[in-house]
Structure 1
Amino acid sequence: MPASVVPVLMYHHVSPTPGLITVSPAHFAAQMCWLKRHGYTTLTLDALAGFLAGEPVPAKSVVISFDDGYLDNWVYAHPVLEQYGLHAVLFLITRWLGEGPLRPHAGQGNTPLPACLSHHAGKTAIDAGQTDLVMMRWSEVLAARDAGTFEFHSHTHTHNRWDKIYPGDADNKSKALAHDLASSRNLLTERLGEVSSHLCWPQGYYDDDYIRVAEAAGFRHLYTTEPGVVGADSMASRLPRIVVKDRGLGWFAPRMWAYRQPALARWYLGRKSR
């Protein structure tokens, strides 16, 4: 029987360095092992778009999404996904990615691993222009894509909140966002050879102007941080996702069961958002 709803799980960091929006490698590995052992299909965003258009997907379908493109996604998440043959989606902040050779990851024996900063320390490093300490390199993006562990989409070019930079100025806000999205699309096309119709909003913020500009730029599937599961009746311009916490299977497993039950998922996630 095909799925009636699809949960889109949301991760940021997978790292042994504790901090905000961070899941430990041990918990992430346990969660991915559980999905594999219980027969889940990890969808591409093209498959999710097909589901929205009425195409069937397997009953146990899930999207594993990551935001930003942190170095720890390569060092710790990539080898786990590769080990279990799972596929994830990564929304990249294109301006923050740099050049250089591949760095070691956790699937390479006893090779010393690069340090992965906490979320707070990473923000400080980015503000100081030291993005290579925090973010993936383009070489790592290509390696992960070729391995099939990640596909890559836009999280804008700068991660700026243009509504805050131009408060009350809808014209300049829209112009700045349009330039930002064009820069992201151009760089993704240059580096990956293509760009998709999928966009994730920085900090989950959007308004009617944001949606209009994004759709004019060629983005049709817009991802938020609003809690919920994606159903056939979901609006492509307001797709919900589910935050995954740094918790073990006693937390993860019952929620994954609930997220497959449309009424229960909507009730539970609606209750948690209040």
Structure 2
Amino acid sequence: MSIISLTQPLLGASIPILCYHQVRPASGMTPEKFGSHLDLIKKLGFQTISLANLHRIIQGQTPQTGPSVVITFDDCTLDNWVYAVPQLLRRDMHGVLFAITDFVQPGRTRLRADQTMNPPSVPAFGDIMQQSLAGNCDGFMNEAEIRAVVHELGMEVYSHSAAHQACFTRAEQTGTLSEKRHWSHAALCGKDADAGTAVHPVGSSYAHAGFGLNWNGRPLPLKTDQERLAFCLQDFSTAKAKLEDLLDLPCPFLCLPWGEYDDITLPAAKKAGYEGVLNLEAGHVGPGIDPMRIGRLAVKDRKTLPWLALKTLLLAHRTLAPWAQRRSVGRRT
């Protein structure tokens, strides 16, 4: 019996949800480092559970059986398949992946790191997005890999929107296109923009009345509430339909890009048919919380094992969970 099993009855049980992105060599989150995270989670006494099971717990349909954690990955980049999945399989742990469906293309399954000594090289996310916007989606998991991770390996894949569309969130200038700091700048400004074009703070087009061009080079329709609701509804519905067709399974969950949302985002998600929405507001997760506001903890590359241990232990207890994140990062009003 773990210490958490003894303390949760006293302090109240909560279920940490960890958010990872890329796991790849020559990065801040190498496969070895990610493996050490998984080993720590097991050592602390947690079992990994599915998002579907978590949702049933939240709805009061099934009880929590022991200290539990949900491990999630945003974006479905190829490294999730090549490097992260083998680390999970090695420890008999479960993973939940969120796909950007516009970039999920047909293809054959590529060899994972547990299947070859020479796994495919995977670029950083910004480079993957720039390549994909130019028509090369090889940096994302393809259809065959998504089917395999679900139907052969028993993990889950849900929606991370169709386009992961960015927008400029404020008129404040942060630099010029020649000094671009974000992968979205060139696309948001347009292919004909010159090097001196102003760039601005970037965020989620699903949570801001922002501006800029969409990935097809047309102005984003985000000025009015009606435009924004229609924009979100179309994107969220498209992603849901594609995954349901690809996997022949329901897609009841949406993970929000950037973890951001506002009073337009969540009604659009509900109207699109989602039953649960995940953000990046780490806190208590358990029976009775709003399933449209499920909070996760972002595990960034630079974070250490002691940091992960402290945050995960706080999030495992209802009375301590609010201390895990001192400020809200996801919601906009």
Does TM, scored on the shorter chain, surpass 0.5? Answer: yes
How many pairs align?
268
Q: Does 1:249 align with 2:305?
A: yes
Q: For each residue in 1:46-94, what CA deviation from the matched residue of structure 2 results, as whole angstroms up to 9, or x when unmatched?
A: 2111111223212310010111110000010011111111111111111
Q: Give TM-score scaled by structure 1 length.
A: 0.90
Equivalent in the alignment of 1:129: 135
| Superposed displacement of residue 149, structure 1 | 5.3
| Superposed displacement of residue 31, structure 1 | 1.1
Greater Rg, structure 1 or structure 2? 2
Equivalent in the alignment of 1:26: 32
Q: Give TM-score scaled by structure 2 length.
A: 0.75
> How far, CA to CA, are the matches of 2:238 and 2:320 in structure 1?
41
Q: Does 1:68 align with 2:75?
A: yes
Q: Does 1:77 align with 2:84?
A: yes
Aligned to 1:5, the other structure's residue is in SS state coil
Aligned to 1:81, the other structure's residue is in SS state helix
Which amino acid in structure 2 is aligned with residue 260 of structure 1? A
| Superposed displacement of residue 109, structure 1 | 4.3
Out of 32, 48, 58, the position equivalent to 2:54 is 48
Equivalent in the alignment of 2:178: none
> How far, CA to CA, are the matches of 1:268 and 1:207 in structure 2?
22
Q: Does 1:265 align with 2:270?
A: no
Structure with the higher fraction of residues in helix conformation:
1
Which amino acid in structure 1 is aligned with residue 66 of structure 2? A
Out of 231, 241, 260, the position equivalent to 1:186 is 241
> How far, CA to CA, are the matches of 1:264 and 1:167 in structure 2?
38
Moved >4 Å (runs of 4+): none
Give the conservation status (yes or no) of the 8 Å contact 1:52–1:231.
yes
Q: Single out whichever of 258-267 and 89-98 deviates more from structure 2.
A: 258-267
Residues 87, 202 of structure 1: alpha-carbon distance in 2 compared, 3 angstrom cutoff: same
5+ residue gaps in structure 2?
A: 166-204, 211-219
Equivalent in the alignment of 2:289: 234
Equivalent in the alignment of 1:211: 266
5+ residue gaps in structure 1?
A: none
| Superposed displacement of residue 199, structure 1 | 0.8
Q: Does 1:148 align with 2:148?
A: no
Equivalent in the alignment of 1:223: 278
Aligned to 1:230, the other structure's residue is in SS state coil
| Superposed displacement of residue 196, structure 1 | 2.5
